[in-house]
Amino acid sequence: MSILSATLSRVKPSPTIAVTTKAQELKAAGRDVIGLGAGEPDFDTPDHIKAAGIRAIEAGKTKYTAVDGIPELKAAICAKFKRDNGLDYVPAQVSVGTGGKQILYNALMATLNPGDEVVIPAPYWVSYPDMVLLAGGEPVIAPAGIESGFKLSPETLEEAITPKTKWFIFNSPSNPTGAGYTWDELKALTDVLMRHPHVWVMTDDMYEHLSYDGFEFCTPAQVEPALYDRTLTCNGVSKAYAMTGWRIGYAAGPQDLIGAMRKIQSQSTSNPCTISQWAAVEALNGSHDFIAANNAMFKRRRDLVVSMLSEIDGIECPTPNGAFYVYPSIAGLIGKTSKAGTLIDNDEAFATALLEETGVAVVFGAAFGLSPNFRVSYATSDEALKEACTRIQIFCAELR
């Protein structure tokens, strides 16, 4: 008899982490690998935030804290929601966890019963469906293809909702497509939700500050204030502040839900890292000037990648307005054979052959629920991006 639980057999390991691991292994074995798989900024945590972490250590702030966050961080989060999103929350409505990932996981664990459905637009961030499965729920995938700019239409949302729907998970700007919903596009979705009062909204605003070309970020409870009482607004410091390793994410929502999430956290991990919480206070309250400079760099890299990939026959690469990903379609390459003889019959075969034959690591679209595509993370140097895109161009030109 297996030691493993039946629940575990419902989920798969994170494919993005698998690609990063495989690329690291090849690198360690001496191969010339360019990793475009990782979902994290390539620059360092800003100095003033690091200094706050160091100050916390030196001041002995190294003990347990309240399970779901120190009062100073909860106050900074309330101020952030007011300042950036026009949303009023009090500290008792705020939960801080070990990364955005734990926050989303706690919320699903705290709310899902067997058979409960969660509507997830595809392409999606890899962890949503598996977290729903781990929590005993059923993911319901609502497709949002390249023709709609990878944005969910209100009609498709309406069709996906059933009496069993508990949550709608919303993510803008999106991982893996970079697509950001405008106010009107989001309003069209919240209008649908207003007709289904049993459906709650889990909005993952992780890429809020990473946007380009004047895109104006908005979040569901802001666009439709009547949804405030059934919305969990999730965010974190990982991406905009280059703090992926510090592991701080947070959410605000109805107090009962926040209390239930706290209960899960109190019996699993307890408080998120104390030192990181103090660094996050500085991240949220301190200067944000570096974000504009980082975004200018990301925009330049995005334009470079989009233009180089768009030159390839058989690849269609839309220009997204947020995050640090592009999600090109390879529909025009399916059925071809690589120089080394691999049949490209789907996007996984494409990504595998690309890594083995050129050393460029990307993540295949099937991992995100929409094929045939691949995800490029452009959070790496211009030189690496140029070299990687050149290799992709050559690889594709040699397909027969």
Ligand X SMILES: Cc1ncc(COP(=O)(O)O)c(C=O)c1O
> What is the per-residue burial (b if ≥16 Cβ within 10 Å, else e) of 79-101?
ebbeebbebebebebbbbbbbbb
Q: According to CB under 6 A, which one of 46, 100, 137, 220 is a site residue for ligand X?
A: 100
Q: According to CB under 6 A, which one of 81, 89, 105, 125 is a site residue for ligand X?
A: 125
Cβ atoms of residues 268 and 282 within 8 Å: no
Residue nearest to ligand X (CB): 99
Q: Does 99 bind ligand X (CB under 6 A)?
A: yes
Nearest-approach distance from CB 227 to ligand X, in angstroms: 20
Q: Does 236 bind ligand X (CB under 6 A)?
A: yes
SS3 206: coil
SS3 11: coil
Question: Residue 110 gets which letter from DSSP?
Answer: H
When the beta carbons of 175 and 274 are compared against ligand X, the nearer one is: 175
Q: Does 172 bind ligand X (CB under 6 A)?
A: no
Choose the binding region for ligand X from 48-56, 236-244, 251-259, 296-304 (rule: CB under 6 A). 236-244
325-326 vs 374-377, strand pairing mode: antiparallel
Choose the binding region for ligand X from 28-36, 58-66, 94-102, 333-341 (rule: CB under 6 A). 94-102
Q: Does 242 bind ligand X (CB under 6 A)?
A: no
When the beta carbons of 175 and 329 are compared against ligand X, the nearer one is: 175
d(CA 272, CA 284): 16
Choose the binding region for ligand X from 70-78, 95-103, 222-230, 261-269 (rule: CB under 6 A). 95-103
Written as six digits, the tokens of 169 are 């998970």
When the beta carbons of 65 and 175 are compared against ligand X, the nearer one is: 175
When the beta carbons of 249 and 359 are compared against ligand X, the nearer one is: 249
> What is the per-residue burial (b if ≥16 Cβ within 10 Å, else e) of 202-235?
bbbbbbbbbbbeebebbbbbbbbeebbebbbbbb
When the beta carbons of 222 and 235 are compared against ligand X, the nearer one is: 235
Residue 11 φ then ψ, to 5°: -120, 160
Nearest-approach distance from CB 177 to ligand X, in angstroms: 11
**CA quadruple 154, 222, 200, 168: dihedral sign:** positive
Cβ atoms of residues 265 and 305 within 8 Å: no
x/- contact string, 188-217, with ligand X (CB under 6 A)? ----------------x-x-----------
Q: According to CB under 6 A, which one of 74, 80, 101, 262 is a site residue for ligand X?
A: 101
d(CA 227, CA 222): 9
Q: Does 93 bind ligand X (CB under 6 A)?
A: no
Provide the binding-site residues for ligand X, judged by CB under 6 A: 39, 99-101, 125, 171, 175, 204, 206, 236, 238, 244, 249
